[in-house]
Amino acid sequence: MSQQYPALLVVVPLLAALVICGAGWVNKRLCFPIAVAGLGVAAYSCIGLLLRVLDEGVIVYKLGGWDPPMGIAYYVDHLNGLVLVVVSVVALLNLIASKKSVAQEFPDKIGPFYALYVLMVTGLLGIVVTGDAFNLYVLLEIASLTGYGLLAMGEDRAPLAALNYLYMGTIGACFYLLGVGYLYIITGSLNMVDIARILPSLYQSKAVLGAFMICMVGVWLKMAFFPLHAWLPNAYTYASSAASSLIAPLVTKVMIYVMIRLILTVFTPEFAFNILAVSEPIVWLAVIAIVMGAILALGERNLKKMLTYIIIAEVGYMVGGAWLGNRVGMTGAILHIVNDALMTLCLFLVVGNIVHKVKGYAFEDLKGLFRKMPFTMCAFVVGALSIIGVPPTCGFFSKWYLISGAIQAGHYAFMVALLFSSLVNVVLFFRIIEIAFFEPFTDHHAHGHDHQPEPIDEAPLTMLVPLWIVAAALVIVGIYTGDIVNNIIQFAIPEGII
Partner 1 sequence: MKIIGLIIAVLTGALLIYGTVDFPEWADPASPASTHLSPHFIEKTMEETSVPNIVTAVLADYRGYDTMFETTVIFAAGVVCFFLLRILKKEGPRQRLYRHALTGMTIRIRDGEKRPSVLDEFERIDTMWTPYDVIIKTVCRLLIPFIQLFALYVIAHGHHSPGGGFQGGVILGASIILLAISQDLRTAIKRMSEKVDAILSPAGVFIYAGTGALCLLLGGNFLDYSALASILHVDPVTARSHGILIVEIGVGVAVMATLIWIYNNVSSAGKYDEGL
Of residues 24 and 249, the one with the C-beta less far from partner 1:
24
CB of 188 to partner 1, least distance (A): 3
β-bridge partners, 62: 73
Beta-carbon count within 10 A of 440 CB: 11
Cβ contact 435:329 at 8 Å: no
Q: How far apart are CA 171 and CA 66, in angstroms?
A: 32
Q: What is the dihedral of CA 33, 39, 44, 45, to 10 degrees?
A: 130
**C-beta of 229: minimal distance to partner 1 in Å?**
15
Least gap, CB of 60 to partner 1 (angstroms): 11
CB of 126 to partner 1, least distance (A): 7
Q: 24 or 329, CB closer to partner 1? A: 24
In whole angstroms, how close is the CB of 34 to partner 1 at the nearest point? 12
Distance of CA 67 to the CA centre of its chain: 32
Tell me which residues touch partner 1 (CB under 8 A): 4, 7-8, 11, 14-15, 17-19, 21-22, 25, 61-66, 69-72, 108-109, 112-113, 115-116, 119, 122, 126, 134-135, 138-139, 141-142, 145-146, 148-149, 152-153, 159, 178, 182, 184-189, 198, 205-211, 213-214
The number of beta carbons lying within 10 Å of the beta carbon of residue 452 is: 6
For partner 1, the closer of residues 185 and 456 by Cβ is 185
Distance, in Å, from the CA atom of 218 to the CA atom of 452, rounded to the nearest integer, reads 55
**Closest approach of partner 1 to the CB of residue 465, in Å:** 28
CB of 241 or CB of 386, closer to partner 1: 241
Please name the helix (run of DSSP H) or strand (run of DSSP E) that holds residue 31, with its range, or none.
helix 31-56
- For residues 398-432, one letter each, b for 16 or more C-beta atoms within 10 angstroms of the residue's C-beta and e for the rest, the string is bbbbbbbbbeebebebbbebbebbbebbbebbeeb
Closest distance between partner 1 and the C-beta of residue 251, in Å?
15
Question: Given CA atoms 390, 391, 393, 397 in this order, what sign does their dihedral have?
Answer: positive
Cα–Cα distances in angstroms (integers) from residue 456 to residues 1, 348, 359, 453, 459, in the given order: 48, 21, 16, 9, 10
CA 335/CA 337 separation, integer angstroms: 5
> Closest CB to partner 1 among 198 and 469?
198
- Please, which residue, 189 or 376, has the CB nearer to partner 1? 189
- Please report how close the Cβ of residue 287 comes to partner 1 at its closest, in angstroms: 21
By beta-carbon proximity to partner 1, the closer residue of 72 and 492 is 72
- CA 404, 408, 409, 411 torsion-angle sign: positive
Q: State which residue, 22 or 33, has the beta carbon closest to partner 1.
A: 22
Q: Which is nearer to partner 1, 139 or 366 (CB)?
A: 139
In the complex, minimum distance from the CB of residue 152 to partner 1, in angstroms, rounded to a whole number: 6
What does the alpha-carbon distance between residue 40 and residue 93 come to, in Å, rounded to a whole number? 10
Task: Single out the residue of 452, 451, 468 nearest to residue 460, CA to CA.
Answer: 468
